[in-house]
Amino acid sequence: MYQDLALYIDGEFIKGGDRHEQEVINPATQEVLGQLPHATRADLDRALAAAQRAFETWKKTSPLERGKILRRVGELARERARDIGRNITLDQGKPLAEAVGEIMVCAEHADWHAEECRRIYGRVIPPRQPNVRQLVVREPIGVCAAFTPWNFPFNQAIRKIVAAVGAGCTLILKGPEDSPSAVVALAQLFHDAGLPPGVLNIVWGVPAEVSTYLIESPIVRKISFTGSVPVGKQLAALAGAHMKRVTMELGGHSPVLVFDDADIDPAAEMLARFKLRNAGQVCVSPTRFYVQEKAYDRFLARFTEVIGSIKVGNGLEDGTQMGPLAHERRVLSMEQFLDDASQRGGKVVAGGSRLGDKGYFFAPTVVTDLPDDSRLMTDEPFGPVAPVTRFKDTAEVLRRANSLPFGLASYVFTNSLKTATEVSNGLEAGMVNINHFGMALAETPFGGIKDSGIGSEGGLETFDGYLVTKFITQA
């Protein structure tokens, strides 16, 4: 049984009526899984009014009470992980173990925010006169609107909800219409954990129509978006026109720097598997592989061998290591990347084409000999395609790694302390992973610089985007 799909407004699950419905497709089989109701204008207005009303009481609810609900959400998420995960595999495609893992890891975001919201401190500033008290307090910003994508449908949504709700804000969230089950399941988790009506509202629709309506509403004070750079820029511009705060978690094109002195075989194996997680549809997926000259042949041989050994199939089948791409758009995009690669002299050393005639499967692919200005080296592939190229020295690879407008994740493999220090200082990236993958934990900040975004989610920084600073001086 697939998730029952609905809107969630003012504490009620709503569907039917004369609402437009959108088919949800299983990317492994192209079968229709369910019908997703779109919000009408009246639904959006109702969500706005509910969020505004709920804010008046939620902002005064103690962090201890807010934390209790968040903690319960974490517990319920763990209990329901298998069912929620199965639905993610059905509507998003990733292998079941990855989908269940997404829920289990993300339950920690609820735990972390439950604790951390009790530490939203202000400060006392020493006054110039003895009878004056100067206080800095941090208050919830108000009603927030969030837009989350389909690649980690549970993860991306829960991160925004726990930050907003933990800070004392209320929220209207539009999830991904392509893969909606996890967001409806999340609404049920918060509902069952006792979140008061109106604090969280879930809507669906035509993305640009819903986002424009919500961002332009005077009720909404803050926007949070995870998705592509072009859409992020549009939404940030619209928010700017209305002087609204934004958090933007956008795309990247993560460079991988493998130095001659690294442990080459383990690095190649780890990177090949990490590259194909969620079929490469990950904003921090390693996407440009720069390998130093002496290590190049050995790295490429082992990397290609592991990439070629990955079992691709329906994510519900035992042994599947990589599922289909989430929708037809991604398959077409992979084909365009490979067309450009062949025109630019690239050599396909593994994969290179669509697999089968049912479902959106694409072979894990490795391409070499591409110039730095080819599409694969400059545009985020967001799929199971890895371009591998050579470099000579540290200065050259840093220049090439930093040459794009993005700055999300980066990866370095070296056994030299000097090199590790030099490149971690020199890389223009929001996150640098050296000799392992260690990002996206609840207690660590996640975010990009340059075109990859504004603000961080997780870590101590997590509430910053949801709080305003008020200075109080009293004589």
Instruction: Using CB under 6 A, list all residues that contact ligand NAD.
Output: 147, 149-151, 176, 207-208, 211, 226-228, 231, 234-235, 249-251, 283, 329, 380, 382
249 is catalytic: yes
Shortest distance, position 409 Cβ to ligand NAD, whole Å: 11
Catalytic residue among 116, 283, 380, 457: 283
Nearer to ligand NAD, 93 or 251 (CB): 251
Using CA atoms, how far apart are residues 372 and 393, in angstroms rounded to an integer? 16
Shortest distance, position 392 Cβ to ligand NAD, whole Å: 30
| Sign (positive or negative) of CA dihedral 344, 350, 353, 354 | negative
Shortest distance, position 282 Cβ to ligand NAD, whole Å: 7
Nearer to ligand NAD, 85 or 447 (CB): 447
Query: Which residues share a beta bridge with 34?
Result: 24
Element (H, E) at 211: helix 207-216
Catalytic residue among 102, 177, 249, 380: 249
Label residue 328 exposed, middle or buried (CB < 10 Å: 0-12, 13-18, 19+): middle
Shortest distance, position 177 Cβ to ligand NAD, whole Å: 6
Using CA atoms, how far apart are residues 220 and 214, in angstroms rounded to an integer? 7
Burial 31-56 (b: 16+ CB within 10 A, else e): eebbebbbbbeebbebbbbbbbebbe
Element (H, E) at 158: helix 153-167
What does the block give as tokens for 131?
């009878």
Nearer to ligand NAD, 63 or 205 (CB): 205
Nearer to ligand NAD, 262 or 326 (CB): 326
Nearer to ligand NAD, 151 or 188 (CB): 151
Shortest distance, position 439 Cβ to ligand NAD, whole Å: 13
Checking DSSP bridges between strand 7-9 and strand 12-14, what pairing results, if any? antiparallel
Cα end-to-end distance, the chain, whole Å:
64
117 is catalytic: no
What DSSP letter does each residue of 221-242 carry, written as one string?
EEEEEES-HHHHHHHHHHHHHT
Q: Where in the sequence numbering do the catalytic residues fall?
A: 249, 283
